[in-house]
Amino acid sequence: MTLHIDDVTLTYPDGEQRLTALDHVSLTAEPGTLTAIVGPSGSGKSSLLAVAATLITPDSGRVLLNGRDLAQLSRTETAKARREGIGIVFQTSNLLASLTALDQLLVIAHIAGRDMDAARIQAMDLLGAVGLVPQADKRPSQLSGGQRQRVTIARGLMNQPSLLLVDEPTSALDRHRGEAVLDLLRELTTDRNLTTVMVTHDHEHLATADAVIELTDGRIATLADGDAVEPGVVAIASTR
């Protein structure tokens, strides 16, 4: 599904005033592509991801997923939209210490009330896709940092999303493991025709992305090669 963020503004309370996190931001991400969002701390990267995930409703603007405006949905409707079409991979793995890698995925299906026999088959398929079938029965403490991140990615795909939103997937990994995780995201995006949007601080691996968007002070500011564009205008630099 195509994600189109159209002229989105988001503010937060800041004493008697309001702090602008996103200032008339627009972007489009297509199926089968990986879009990287970069920028300094406080630039609005995570706020943009939260808006796309329907975790925060913007003050104005539209968040269109295949033409449907998610910003206009009720809380119940947005929760349903997340369950049915959006996968979220948070910065920290948040894996449950007592559960095996397989069970981390199965709990998602259990919460959704799905048939567990079919869910087990899907979960093993996803663990295979991220190269972790041999670790299916291991708990988080028995996994490396890179393996835990792979479990988190597989868990984010358990609801068979069309939109995958990833927050800083390499922040807790060394360079080698970070490269492996980004290569995995690239492969999954292509193989499963996902619309993937990734927030990252790691400029070294931007070649993995199909497009790079740089945020500064809540606005899309520059192309990746440094060519300036007008504030508020989509700045996408293809890396392929």
Digit-coded pLDDT (tens) for 105-156:
999 999 888 999 999 999 999 999 999 999 999 999 999 988 998 999 999 9
On whether residue 154 sits in a domain, the answer given is no
On whether residue 194 sits in a domain, the answer given is yes
The per-residue pLDDT for 128 is 93
Give the separation between CA 105 and CA 59, rounded to whole angstroms: 34
Give the separation between CA 107 and CA 117, rounded to whole angstroms: 13
User: Which residue type occupies 148?
Assistant: R
Structural domain span for residue 176: 3-94+162-238
* Domains held by the chain: number: 1
Q: Calculate the average pLDDT of the chain.
A: 87
Q: Whole-prediction pTM value?
A: 0.86
- Maximum alpha-carbon separation in the chain: 55
Task: Please report, for residues 25, 106, 113, 161, the alpha-carbon distance to residue 65 in angstroms, rounded to integers and kept in the order given.
Answer: 16, 26, 24, 12
On whether residue 101 sits in a domain, the answer given is no
On whether residue 114 sits in a domain, the answer given is no
pLDDT category, 60, cuts 50, 70, 90?
A: very high
On whether residue 121 sits in a domain, the answer given is no
Give the separation between CA 14 and CA 119, rounded to whole angstroms: 44
Task: Please report, for residues 107, 138, 214, the alpha-carbon distance to residue 174 in angstroms, rounded to integers and kept in the order given.
Answer: 29, 22, 23
On whether residue 21 sits in a domain, the answer given is yes
On whether residue 88 sits in a domain, the answer given is yes
DSSP-derived 3-state class of residue 36: strand
Give the separation between CA 107 and CA 119, rounded to whole angstroms: 10
Give the contacts of 197 (CB within 8 A, at least 6 positions apart). 3, 29, 34, 35, 37, 49, 52, 163, 164, 165, 166
Give the separation between CA 31 and CA 189, rounded to whole angstroms: 8
Any idea what the CATH number is for the domain that residue 60 is in? 3.40.50.300
> E-strand spans in the chain?
3-14, 17-29, 33-38, 60-65, 68-69, 86-89, 163-167, 195-199, 211-216, 219-220, 237-238
The per-residue pLDDT for 130 is 92
Per residue in 168-222, pLDDT tens? 887 777 778 788 888 889 999 999 999 999 998 777 778 889 999 999 999 997 4
On whether residue 132 sits in a domain, the answer given is no
The per-residue pLDDT for 168 is 87
Residue whose structure tokens are 């489009």: 28
